[in-house]
Homo-oligomer: A and B are copies of this chain.
Amino acid sequence: MNAEAIKKSLETGGLRCTPQRYAVMAFLTEHNRHPTAAEIFEAVNRVDPRSSRATTYNNLRDLVQAGLVREVAVEGRAARFDAKDIPHHHFICDRCGNVEDMEWYDVPRPDSGSLGKRVLRECELIFRGLCARCAPRTGQTTHAPRQVR
């Protein structure tokens, strides 16, 4: 996503394209490593324009509300963020907590009976297990049932 596209997507989302907001969005589109708010704050402050911690959080919240960014809550760890450009699912590592993108495929929706009066917005598939780096290692995971075998 280039500068113009980012600018446009912000405006489409009803958000003014401020330097700080742009920096957050640009960082997220350039890195699909699902950074935490703290990492984003650090990253955008390594270069101008600077941005305070509060602003980073404010902008992340605005971007999530506008539907441009997704917030991924991870058990026992800081939330992670990623640009919602290409649809995808997530793989969360039991051991290191890293979030990785997984190829998207359609998810069967629940039938309207079990949905009741609820209004469904999206179906999200989360895979859990050990990531490629953690799989070869042994030892205990931090946030998952112990591995039975």
Using a CB–CB distance below 8 Å, which chain A residues touch chain B? 64-67, 71-76, 79, 89, 91, 94, 100, 102-103, 105, 107-108, 110, 114, 116-132, 135-136, 140-141, 143-148
Minimal beta-carbon separation of A139 from chain B (angstroms): 13
Instruction: Identify the closest chain B residue to A65 (Cβ).
Output: B146
CA distance A66 to B126 in the complex (A): 20
> Can you offer 6 A-B residue contacts whose CB atoms are under 8 A?
A64-B145, A65-B140, A103-B110, A118-B135, A120-B128, A121-B144
CA distance A65 to B143 in the complex (A): 6
Residues in B neighbouring A91, C-beta threshold 8 A = 118
Residue in B76, B123, B140 whose beta carbon sits within 8 Å of that of A126 in the complex: B123
Instruction: Identify the closest chain B residue to A131 (Cβ).
Output: B118
CA distance A140 to B14 in the complex (A): 14
A146 touches B66 (CB 8 A): yes
Residues in B neighbouring A71, C-beta threshold 8 A = 75-76, 143
CA distance A103 to B113 in the complex (A): 10
Residues in B neighbouring A72, C-beta threshold 8 A = 75
Indicate whether A105 sits within 8 Å of B108 (C-beta atoms), given known contacts A118-B91, A126-B123. Answer: yes
B119 touches A130 (CB 8 A): yes
Minimal beta-carbon separation of A89 from chain B (angstroms): 8
B118 touches A94 (CB 8 A): no
Add 14 more A-B contacts to A102-B114, A120-B128, A126-B126 (CB < 8 A): A65-B141, A65-B144, A72-B75, A73-B75, A76-B79, A103-B114, A105-B110, A107-B108, A110-B127, A118-B132, A121-B144, A122-B129, A123-B127, A124-B128
